[in-house]
A and B are shown apart, each in its own frame.
Chain A
Amino acid sequence: METDRARLASRGGEDPDRRTASDRDRRSGTPRAEEPVIESRDLSVFYGEEQALQGIDMSIPERRVTALIGPSGCGKSTFLRSINRMNDLIDVARVEGELYFHGKNVYDDDVDPVALRRKIGMVFQKPNPFPKSIFDNVAYGLRVQGKDDDVERKVRTALERAALLDEVEDRLDESGLDLSGGQQQRLCIARAIAPDPEVILMDEPASALDPVATSQIEDLVEELAREYTVVIVTHNMQQAARISDKTAVFLTGGYLAEFDDTSKIFENPQNQRVEDYITGKFG
């Protein structure tokens, strides 16, 4: 079973044994009851008249990596943005159905999207640091959320978790824009985790990066899943196979074709079109 995933992984030119034993233990070790932390029910999103998501049902487990894959334009980013209500910022976007976070529908009238986003952090496709110092970039979330006691320590912890501290330790007051693309993306991850959210959404966080920076981000994602629930959009199937526990395959038109354990999706997909997509017959 595991060999198949390893084979898939090695296709991407990565060392299949890169994962540590403890990593495996966390996944295949004693199964604990998986409480879904995020659950969508019949979730549809419209842009004007155009329907981008068709009644999605999905349960995202806590402290696991859930990958969203599928061809371009199938609605992966749309689904991701509907989790922390970033779709609210798009004038023409409209959401129907329910999305539960800890059992509470985030589209209820009494939910403040700002409060929601303080629990559900986000990392974007292109690194988007502020034109501020490295320190101030990471501290920004803490400051807007009023968690600005002991900022120094929190910033260092976040940089450490984002595997960036060693590289920037002695230049925290330099501009975040002076970092390399990969470093900028890790800076954005540090910024997202500094205020200690529960969930981290990532929209193709490595697609603008070179292979070395990509594998650093991948390691980081696996590491983050010890403490956070991670939902990651990726175009790269090997990446999904390598780092995720659950995989959701979207297909053109905004349909969720299959959602299951990553090993199942890649070894024994139930849906013919998912199989075609995964084996590269289209997409």
Chain B
Amino acid sequence: MSTETDGSFVDGLEDIERKRLYGRLFVAVCFASTLVGVVALVALLADVLYESWGWVSWEFLTYPPSQAVENFLPGGRGAGIYPALVGSIFLIALTAVFTVFLGVGAAIYLEEYAAESRLKSFVEANIANLAGVPSIVYGLLGLAIFVRWFQLGASLIAGALTLTLLILPIVIVSSQEALRAVPDSQRQAAYGVGATKWQVIRDVVLPRALPGIMTGTILSLSRAIGETAPILMVGASTSLFVAPDGLTSPFSAMPMTIFEWATLPEAEFQHIAAAGIVVLLTILLLMNATAILIRNRYDPRS
């Protein structure tokens, strides 16, 4: 490779060549790994889009489900995912309210107020562990606490509280990280002109950490919207014909309805399930896009 031929640094060139070869091999392996992920995602999207082609319509979004295939067809009475769509949106909106208050509150307390202590490390370690607990366990917990003990029944609010429990650990940890990333020099600047702790947190720390907190929260919520197991445990319906109209009304959610359709024998229901998946994925992608937008737009450093 080199045109230099004299000098002692020419010795050992072979060794460098060999190391370079390893380097290229490594790049190839990494590239292949990336490719697997991208190809799998594209294949999945292509398959779902292909399966659902022609089945997603305005009627599909605005009508309750039906057991009869012909109701889903153009010219039929109209059938779709409406109650589950509304159920999912309400569920996520409620979950968002609960997690923002509880998650951000806990993160601020742990990061800004709690003194370093064994207890604090213990609590933090356990929050991190909770993030790894399978979602069905949260479903059982929700069933025991919210449905039975609080006697909320199989209601929207019980589902939202259960999903809140599920994503709370992730929201707390990611919010703590966002708070920790606020440079100390910024806090000192505020303390230096005689700000109180509350003023420092309100004026300097929170604005600076907010994009990070929002991003983490929205990404957690988009995980929650696709969860099936926990809301199944608290008793969400698979096929409900009316949208929920209050905190305590029974509810359905998109993953439940999609699952129900996928188990039906008629071949057309595979297409209808795919149409449901397209609606779910669209909402998911919109949420994630919002998170990215917030991260890029409201980052005070840029």
A124 in contact with B193 (CB, 8 Å): no
Judge if A117 is at the interface, Cβ distance under 8 Å.
yes
A89, A91, A144: the one within 8 Å of B193 (CB): A144
Q: Which of B55-63, B82-90, B182-190 forms part of the interface with chain A?
A: B182-190
B204 in contact with A89 (CB, 8 Å): no
Task: Give bound CA distance, A89 to B190, whole Å.
Answer: 12
Shortest distance between the CB of B274 and any CB in chain A (Å) = 46
Given contacts A86-B192, A145-B194, contact A130 B186 (CB under 8 A): yes
B191, B204, B208: the one within 8 Å of A117 (CB): B191
Task: Give bound CA distance, A126 to B189, whole Å.
Answer: 10
- Interface membership of chain A positions 171-205, coded 1 if the CB is closer than 8 angstroms to chain B and 0 otherwise: 00000010000000000100110110000000000
Shortest distance between the CB of B211 and any CB in chain A (Å) = 11
- Interface membership of chain B positions 261-279, coded 1 if the CB is closer than 8 angstroms to chain A and 0 otherwise: 0000000000000000000
Given contacts A91-B115, A130-B204, A140-B190, contact A124 B185 (CB under 8 A): yes
Task: Give bound CA distance, A267 to B69, whole Å.
Answer: 100
> Whose C-beta in chain A lies nearest to the C-beta of B202?
A144
- Interface membership of chain B positions 73-117, coded 1 if the CB is closer than 8 angstroms to chain A and 0 otherwise: 000000000000000000000000000000000000000000110
B194 in contact with A115 (CB, 8 Å): yes
A-B contact count (CB 8 A): 68
- Interface membership of chain B positions 162-200, coded 1 if the CB is closer than 8 angstroms to chain A and 0 otherwise: 000000000000000000000101111111111110010
Interface size on A, residues (CB 8 A): 27
Task: Give bound CA distance, A191 to B199, whole Å.
Answer: 16
Judge if B300 is at the interface, Cβ distance under 8 Å.
yes
Task: Give bound CA distance, A61 to B300, whole Å.
Answer: 41
Interface residues of A in 96-146 (CB under 8 A from B): 114-115, 117-118, 121-124, 126, 128-131, 140-141, 144-145
Shortest distance between the CB of A59 and any CB in chain B (Å) = 24
Which residues of A are found within 8 Å of B297, using beta-carbon distances? none
B116, B195, B208, B301: the one within 8 Å of A144 (CB): B195
B196 in contact with A131 (CB, 8 Å): no
Which residues of B are found within 8 Å of A188, using beta-carbon distances? 189
Judge if B203 is at the interface, Cβ distance under 8 Å.
yes
> Whose C-beta in chain A lies nearest to the C-beta of B301?
A131
> Whose C-beta in chain B lies nearest to the C-beta of A117?
B194
Which residues of B are found within 8 Å of A194, using beta-carbon distances? 193
Which residues of A are found within 8 Å of B204, using beta-carbon distances? 130
A195 in contact with B189 (CB, 8 Å): no
Given contacts A117-B191, A126-B185, contact A131 B203 (CB under 8 A): no
Task: Give bound CA distance, A144 to B199, whole Å.
Answer: 7
Shortest distance between the CB of A235 and any CB in chain B (Å) = 19
Given contacts A144-B199, A144-B203, contact A128 B191 (CB under 8 A): no
A131 in contact with B193 (CB, 8 Å): no
Which residues of A are found within 8 Å of B189, using beta-carbon distances? 124, 128-130, 188, 191
Shortest distance between the CB of B46 and any CB in chain A (Å) = 43
> Whose C-beta in chain A lies nearest to the C-beta of B193?
A141
Shortest distance between the CB of B31 and any CB in chain A (Å) = 38
Interface residues of A in 58-98 (CB under 8 A from B): 84, 86, 89, 91
Which residues of B are found within 8 Å of A177, using beta-carbon distances? 301
A118 in contact with B194 (CB, 8 Å): yes
Which residues of B are found within 8 Å of A129, using beta-carbon distances? 189
Task: Give bound CA distance, A195 to B195, whole Å.
Answer: 12
Given contacts A131-B208, A131-B300, contact A122 B195 (CB under 8 A): no
B191, B193, B301: the one within 8 Å of A195 (CB): B193
Task: Give bound CA distance, A118 to B190, whole Å.
Answer: 11
Shortest distance between the CB of B180 and any CB in chain A (Å) = 15
15 A-B pairs within 8 Å (CB atoms) are namely A84-B192, A91-B116, A115-B194, A117-B191, A117-B193, A121-B192, A123-B192, A128-B189, A130-B190, A131-B208, A140-B190, A140-B193, A188-B189, A191-B189, A191-B193
Binding site for B on A (CB under 8 A): 84, 86, 89, 91, 114-115, 117-118, 121-124, 126, 128-131, 140-141, 144-145, 177, 188, 191-192, 194-195
Closest 9 CB pairs of A and B: A141-B193, A118-B194, A131-B300, A122-B192, A128-B185, A117-B194, A144-B195, A128-B189, A144-B199
Q: A122-B192, A177-B301, A195-B194 are in contact. List 4 more A-B contacts (CB 8 A).
A: A86-B192, A124-B188, A130-B186, A131-B207
